[in-house]
Chain A
Amino acid sequence: MLNKGLFKKPKNELEAQHRIKRKTDPAIPSELCRSCPSCKQLSFTSDLENNFHVCPKCGHHFRINARQRLNMIVDPDTFVEQHHELSSSNRLEFPGYDEKLEQATLFSHENEGVIIGTGKIDNHKVALFVMEATFMMGSMGQVVGEKITLIFEYAHKHHLPVIGYTVSGGARMQEGMLALMQMAKTSGAVKRHSDAGLLYLAILTDPTTGGVTASFAMEGDIILAEPEALIAFAGPRVIEQTIRQRLPKGFQRAEFLLEKGFVDAIVPRSIQKETVKRLLTLHTIPKGGDQNGSI
């Protein structure tokens, strides 16, 4: 009865995916080619770059960094970064956190998990925040919370819409309750910006989870999502452990949230800038014309 490999059988889907990925990793330099995690097909890196880092075969959206996103969405040479200098310290003296911060800085070439600033999108002046997944999975500590708050306060003061890209593993546990407090702090800044009648457009990318989902990611006036992005409060592994059941396919993906009514639209990268531009235009009050509708 005991067939070979019984003990190697994957316990759940997550583990199974992990296996398949390992098997099909090609022995080709990663700079030249990349294999798609979704359809396993190989694509030239140059082709991916010309296609918004989207797999030309199946449409899978590769994870990209914050600077790449900025280049895709903001008009060339218009982005002015703010508070680049802010970096985290280990206030709670959490073991191993200093090393993690150091590694994250080296790995991501950024000082923290979010970039903020102003720029133009098809000539609309906007305030922006873009989270960076390669810096400790975009987790929110005091600096991330502070920068998000600063950009909303700046946008409020200067009457600008906020366009925000989220990607995050949630609150950063190495900063303890001071990280959790950032959820309240950023929500307060979003609220003030909103009460002033200003637009906040959130674009959720893979993965957006935990304390970021439960704060500013879900507080947009309009919430867009990238195809198949994981958007969750509790991640799938946590839920599987809690309820001891396998989760249905597509659970917590952008399409699922659209169906359940929690995102306004799913927007592939290829039409993201165009969509944001159209939404910005629709939120602009025309200068010409009178009250009677004649021009």
Chain B
Amino acid sequence: MEAYKRVALARKKTRPTGQDFIDNLFTDFIELHGDRCFGDDPAMITGLGLLMDMPVTVIAQERGKNTKSRVKRNFGSSHPEGYRKALRQMKLAEKFNRPIVCLIDTSGAFCGIGAEERGQGHAIANNLMEMMGLKVPILSIVIGEGGSGGALALGVADEVWMLENAIYSVISPEGCASILWKDASKTKEAAKCLKLTAQDLLELQVVDKIISENHRDFKNVYRELKIGLYKSFQKNQALEHEQLTEHRYQRFRKYGAIETISE
């Protein structure tokens, strides 16, 4: 399939959002709000739930289902308080030795006056740094659109999975076309060049696994995720803390390491 078709599928309005995944993957979910510094960001849902019999911390980006909820959720684009809320929950997960599930679906971190004033760059940077050292298993799944730094701020994990029709990119194809070629009509070409599809990213080892989709029915997706998450957490919880963080460090260390550069 053409890369741009995937972009369209990933952004499709009828596609299940973070809340749908929460409802279908976990039982007894309780949402917990606020970053304790500034406010609560509706673009980021955080809380606790049961993955079968395992208590887990859930962090999910939510873009909203209809116009009203999309506006409320700021179309899934978080402000710094969203990332700080996520980190607060992740720190609690570490304290109580719970695995962390991150569900990524955002066109990017919000670009606006308030976001800059409150340190969007700092909030993301802090997440990247702290997630690298968390002593509990983390698994991130790109369920829709993985937009640049705003997605990566939930993406420093032991394993990163991606749905078949999800995308994950350093910049939106629209942004790339207008910056590089000053021509918005080259969006399709940009989508192809950026290597943003699940298949491309599996080949580049940016993601570890693709979850196949039947886009009319997500039941199989949820089932596969549930079992996969459970197995992965069981395996990673058995590791020593040092082994776990060392593995996570090496997972990201490999990108552009000297050996691959000099090839």
Contact = CB atoms under 8 A, between A and B. Distances in A.
Interface of A: 83, 86, 88-89, 92, 94-96, 141-143, 145-146, 149-150, 171, 173-185, 187-188, 190-192, 194-195, 210-211, 213-219, 231-234, 238-239, 242-243, 245, 247-248, 251-252, 260-262
Contacts of A150: 258
Contacts of B125: 187, 213-219
Interface stretch (B58-66, B85-93, B105-113): B105-113
Contact of A218 (B122, B193, B260): B122
Given A92-B195, A181-B206, A210-B149, A218 B126 contact: yes
B154 to A, nearest CB: 11
B111 A146 contact: no
Given A185-B253, A239-B113, A190 B168 contact: no
Nearest to A241: B111
B76 interface: no
A184 B157 CA distance: 10
B253 A149 contact: yes
B257 interface: yes
A245 B130 CA distance: 34
B184 interface: no
A94 B194 CA distance: 8
Interface of B: 109, 111-113, 115-122, 124-126, 128-130, 132-133, 148-149, 152-153, 155-156, 168-171, 176, 179-180, 193-196, 201, 204, 206, 248-249, 252-253, 255-258, 260-261
A198 B132 CA distance: 17
B168 A214 contact: no
A187 B193 contact: no
Contacts of B201: 177
A251 B116 contact: yes
B41 to A, nearest CB: 15
A194 B133 CA distance: 11
The secondary structure that dominates the A interface is helix
20 contacts: A86-B258, A92-B195, A142-B261, A146-B258, A173-B180, A177-B196, A178-B255, A182-B255, A184-B152, A184-B155, A188-B156, A191-B133, A210-B149, A214-B125, A214-B128, A214-B149, A218-B121, A218-B125, A218-B126, A243-B112
A5 to B, nearest CB: 25
A192 B128 contact: no
A95 B193 contact: yes
Nearest to A210: B149
Contacts of B255: 142, 145, 178, 181-182, 185
Contacts of A183: 128, 149, 152
Closest 5 CB pairs between A and B? Answer: A142-B256, A213-B121, A234-B111, A187-B128, A233-B121
A204 to B, nearest CB: 10
B256 A143 contact: yes
Contact of A184 (B128, B171, B261): B128
A146 B170 contact: no
Contact of B194 (A149, A176, A182, A248): A176
A211 to B, nearest CB: 6
B113 A188 contact: no
Contacts of A251: 113, 116
Contacts of A262: 119, 122
A116 to B, nearest CB: 13
A218 to B, nearest CB: 4
Given A215-B124, A238-B111, 16 more contacts: A95-B193, A142-B260, A143-B256, A146-B256, A176-B170, A183-B128, A183-B152, A185-B252, A191-B133, A214-B120, A214-B153, A215-B125, A233-B116, A234-B109, A242-B112, A243-B112
Nearest to B258: A146
A251 B111 CA distance: 13
A211 B153 CA distance: 11
A233 B256 contact: no
Contact of A92 (B124, B132, B193, B257): B193
B252 A188 contact: yes
Contacts of B258: 83, 86, 146, 150
B100 to A, nearest CB: 15
Nearest to A261: B119
A233 B132 contact: no
A94 to B, nearest CB: 5
Contacts of A171: 148-149, 170-171
Contacts of B193: 92, 94-95, 176
Given A178-B255, A219-B129, A89 B122 contact: no
A87 to B, nearest CB: 8
A90 B204 CA distance: 13
A210 B175 CA distance: 13
A128 B169 CA distance: 30
B121 A214 contact: yes
Given A180-B152, A216-B125, A243 B206 contact: no
Nearest to B206: A177
A190 B129 contact: yes
